[in-house]
Structure 1
Amino acid sequence: MSYNWATRLGAGFAMVIATAGAAAAAEVNVYTYREQPLIQPIFDQFTKETGIRVNVVFSNKGLEERIRAEGAASPADLFIAVDAAILEKAKAMGIGQPIKSAAVDKAVPAQFRDHDGTWVGLTYRARIFYVSKERVKDTSLTYADLADPKWKGKLCVRSGQHPYNIALIASMITHLGADKTEAWLKGFKQNLAAKPSGNDRSQVKAVYSGECDIGVGNTYYYGLMATNDKEPEQKEWAKSVRVVMPTFASGGSHVNISGALLAKNAPNRDAAQKLIEFMVGGEAQKLYAELNFEYPVVAGVAPTPLIADLGKLEADKASFAEIAKNRTKASELVDKVGFDDGPGS
């Protein structure tokens, strides 16, 4: 049975693992940014089928730095992140090693794997537009349209410095270059209905209430809102919008991934690799899609019907490594144009 070791930190954690002896072969240690409800059932199913226990440290920051600080004594076998840039950062920090698995290479398209094999994608999602069913008739839009004056005062989005938006802006730099992206970002800013604020769900709420006509958000929030029995008002927000899959000029929608990196000093490397292979297997991919409303990386495994009904998603082919390189410039541009100060500033 899996259990959470989030309270067993530092040297104490390492000592427990180091003294596990013969039991080490029957366990795997995971450091993850993925929220527990969205991944624990997968770990539990893996343990049920293999007998390999999954020890987990859940956190929302600092895990890659912790693995580096622990060095050769680190108990971490796998590091799971929800952003390709974080996986690229972890790789650059030298805390990973190649995943050598024919099963992984066969199951996961090259687009969703690190070219050196250090990390592999597990799920992906798109940055899309939530548009008012009543006030927006357009069924086909591009990211460039965010800067079109026809939408002046009709757009809403969370902070430009949020990682979701930094990834989108970095993708624009990859496609357009920094100068054209800066001009686009200025136009986007002037089309905002108000200063960027809130989270992705807030943008859908703003469309529902008439504050704006188009909100920018991730695909999986539609599923989370449409099935939210605890906060039924969110179901009404979801009903008020239609999802448009915007594209770049060259085609394809911006996507980001959750993924796993095999730790450089993994004490249970074989067990860790078995867990990776399980997570990209059909059973886990289907379960993953059902839990978090993201898209499976494995071809032939369909997203949940609720997400599939949003329309066909063609993922942008831009390299995640290239996009990650442009994130610093993206952040600089957000500040340079005063994006978070809102329109008219």
Structure 2
Amino acid sequence: MGSRGFKAGTRCKAWLAMIAAIVSTVFFSAVFQAEGKDSSVIVYASQDETYADPIFKQFEKQTGIKVRAVFDSEAVKTVGLANRLLAERSHPQCDVFWSNEEFRTRLLASENIFRETNGWAAMGYRTRRLVVNTNLLPIAKAPHAFSDATNQIWRGKVALAYPLFGTTATHFMVLRQKWGDAQWQTWCRALAANKPLVVDGNSVVVKMVGGGEVWFGFTDSDDIAAGQKDGLPIVELPLSDETLFIPNTIGVIRNSPHPVEAEKLFRYLQTAPVLQRLLKEDALESAELPKPEAGLKVDWDELLKDWNTTTKELETIFLR
């Protein structure tokens, strides 16, 4: 073979080797990507990261499945992720939705966001409560109902989270159902006129009460427990027949990218060890679901039908 033939053969072999390397790289990259895809699960979580992250890490340790979690901000609790799921419905990016409340999960279910069979489940509960600064207000003189907050003696002395989001929004919607629209609107306008401190989230309500900015507020039981652990001079009081029970909820997204892993996490989050951990951390008050006769009665079908109208009314009354 001449030198020219030798060089041409060498170049040919070099090209073949390069092509083989590229094919090999692409092949193994695809394999690794597939393996990575198969061993992960994507979660949208409005459960507080403080509580959820250790549970996800334990799940990873037990199963080898990587949890990729996206958390919501407290100011727009649950709403942001719910809207994201609605926007992604034709091309789902999420596998599991874990919420620390019920309304948005039911709303998503009504929009067929979850898989058809065993699409979502509820577990345990926390409650809506009154939080009181014990240095400023004796328990005996504290209000025990939402209706009391419109009294002039509490002007500028009560805090609540912005009622367009999270459990505060749900609570206001359920009160509208309980009282009727006319009484509810009168109460909402009287409350707004009483100059409440409207803040971004229930944990902020607890901090404002504990710090003496206001005397009492309406918030969630887990946030009160966290404030007590921090040494704030606060106590929780029930809201008589206006108490709202708030289960955690978990849903598997229809046509999710990782259905097998999603099912494993869905089941895991409902296990006794997970529920006991949430109880220990005061993220839940009970591992059992609330009894049907407990607290405010909710007609979910009616609530879902009216929620958009109620939200617009709240936005008008509590405009910031």
- TM-score normalised per structure 2: 0.72
Q: How does 1:28-107 map to 2 (within 5 A)?
A: 28-60=41-73, 62-70=80-88, 74-100=92-118
Letter in 2 for 1:334: L
Distance 2:186 2:206 in 1: 26
Counterpart contact for 2:224–2:235, Cα < 8 Å: no
Change (3 A) 1:159 1:53: closer
Match 1:216 to one of 215, 218, 238: 218
**Secondary structure at the residue paired with 2:198?**
coil
Distance 1:88 1:273 in 2: 19
Count residues in correspondence. Answer: 283
Unaligned runs of 5+ in 2: 1-28, 74-78
Counterpart contact for 1:121–1:297, Cα < 8 Å: no
| Shift in Å, 1:62 | 4.7
Counterpart contact for 1:170–1:329, Cα < 8 Å: no
| Shift in Å, 1:124 | 3.3
Distance 1:18 1:90 in 2: 34
Counterpart contact for 1:140–1:245, Cα < 8 Å: no
Counterpart contact for 2:127–2:245, Cα < 8 Å: yes
Match 1:175 to one of 153, 158, 178: 178
Match 1:334 to one of 310, 314, 317: 314
Deviation string for 1:100-121 (max 9, x for gaps)? 3xxxxxxxxxxxxxxxxx3222
**1:242 pairs with 2:243:** no
| Shift in Å, 1:326 | 3.7
Q: How does 1:113-262 map to 2 (within 5 A)?
A: 118-134=119-135, 135-136=137-138, 137-138=140-141, 141-149=144-152, 151-192=154-195, 194-197=196-199, 199-208=201-210, 210-228=212-230, 235=231, 238-239=232-233, 241-247=234-240, 251=241, 253-262=243-252
What is residue 298 of structure 2 aligned with on the other side?
318
Distance 1:160 1:339 in 2: 8
Counterpart contact for 2:60–2:66, Cα < 8 Å: yes
Change (3 A) 1:218 1:156: same
Distance 1:190 1:246 in 2: 22
Unaligned runs of 5+ in 1: 1-15, 101-117, 229-234, 301-313
Q: Which has the larger radius of gyration?
A: 2
Letter in 1 for 2:104: I
Distance 1:149 1:70 in 2: 47
What is residue 277 of structure 2 aligned with on the other side?
287
| Shift in Å, 1:129 | 1.0
What is residue 12 of structure 2 aligned with on the other side?
none
| Shift in Å, 1:149 | 5.0
| Shift in Å, 1:283 | 0.2
The answer to which of 35-44 and 46-55 deviates more is 46-55
Letter in 2 for 1:316: L
Distance 2:82 2:200 in 1: 27
| Shift in Å, 1:243 | 1.1
Identity in percent: 18
**Secondary structure at the residue paired with 2:114?**
coil
Letter in 2 for 1:119: W
Aligned-CA RMSD value: 3.6
**Structure with the higher fraction of residues in helix conformation:** 2
Distance 2:155 2:275 in 1: 41
Distance 1:17 1:255 in 2: 47
Counterpart contact for 2:206–2:227, Cα < 8 Å: no
Distance 2:225 2:30 in 1: 38
**Secondary structure at the residue paired with 1:46?**
helix
Letter in 2 for 1:86: R
Deviation string for 1:8-64 (max 9, x for gaps)? xxxxxxxx9998546765543323333433212112222333343333344546544
Distance 2:36 2:200 in 1: 46
| Shift in Å, 1:172 | 0.6
Distance 2:212 2:41 in 1: 49
Deviation string for 1:261-292 (max 9, x for gaps)? 11110243343222222211110011123346
Distance 1:120 1:321 in 2: 17
